[in-house]
């Protein structure tokens, strides 16, 4: 083999080695790139797992908090039910006691007969208190009549004891609205309250409805005794 042939062969060997080296470098670079991609993917998944664990911990804490709050609310509800039962028993006891006390009241009932009402209120003691009561009941009756409720009926019940006098007048078979009640009776109640402010006069208004229309008006008047001012319940 001459000199030129050897040189050419050496160059070819060098070229082959260079190509092998270049191929090796490219392959290693690809492996590094692949490793970096896998590493990033693993890190991403690890981060996701960390976030999910934090969320799970938060949910567990929130669940515990809500469960504790629910248990507290359940205890409060049970206590409220027990308190209500106790109050109902207490209220029933007071009602029975009041009914017993009210049985000692002297009471009269009058229906659609104002002269008879006058006669009853002119009897017995407490003339001043009865005069105030009669004035109030008469004012209510006149007010109802003046507003053209011709078919209405009224029933008055009066009661007295050592604490004072009281009267309840109930108007039936009327047809009014809430606005009518306020327009007609609010000024009357205010006028009477101002007129007899020193007497301890108390006036209470109740209504009964049918199909959204007021058909019953119930007015309660209490006049405490000037000698013994105290609450008077009406049977």
Residues in the chain: 235
Neighbour-count burial of 126, counting CB atoms closer than 10 A to its CB (0-12 exposed, 13-18 middle, 19+ buried): buried
- 110 vs 150, more confident: 110
pLDDT tens figures, 170-227: 998 888 888 888 888 899 999 999 999 888 899 999 899 888 888 899 999 999 986 5
Distance CA 113, CA 110 (A): 6
At 165, phi and psi to the nearest 5? -125, 155
pLDDT tens figures, 52-81: 999 999 988 989 888 888 888 888 888 888
| Assigned architecture for domain 106-224 | 2-Layer Sandwich (3.30)
**Which positions ≥6 away from 184 have C-beta within 8 Å?**
143, 147, 176
Q: What is the mean pLDDT of the chain?
A: 84
């Amino acid at each position: 083999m001459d000199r030129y042939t050897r040189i050419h062969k050496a160059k070819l060997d060098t070229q082959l080695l260079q190509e092998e080296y270049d191929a090796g470098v490219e392959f290693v670079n690809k492996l590094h790139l692949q490793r970096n991609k896998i590493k990033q993917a693993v890190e991403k998944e690890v981060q996701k797992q960390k976030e999910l664990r934090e969320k799970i911990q938060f949910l567990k804490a929130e669940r515990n908090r809500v469960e504790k709050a629910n248990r507290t609310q359940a205890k409060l509800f049970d206590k409220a039910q027990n308190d209500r039962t106790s109050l109902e028993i207490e209220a029933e006891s007071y009602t029975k006691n009041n009914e017993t006390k009210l049985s000692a009241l002297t009471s009269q009932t009058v229906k659609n007969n104002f002269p008879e009402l006058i006669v009853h209120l002119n009897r017995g003691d407490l003339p001043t208190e009865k005069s105030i009561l009669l004035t109030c009941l008469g004012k209510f009756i006149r007010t109802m009549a003046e507003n053209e409720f011709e078919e209405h009926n009224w029933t008055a019940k009066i009661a007295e004891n050592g604490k004072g006098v009281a009267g309840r007048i109930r108007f039936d078979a009327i047809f009014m609205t809430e606005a009518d009640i306020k327009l007609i009776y609010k000024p009357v109640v205010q006028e009477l309250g101002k007129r007899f402010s020193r007497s301890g006069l108390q006036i209470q208004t109740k209504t009964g409805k049918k199909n959204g229309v007021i058909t019953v008006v119930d007015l309660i008047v209490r006049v405490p005794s000037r000698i013994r001012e105290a609450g008077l319940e009406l049977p």
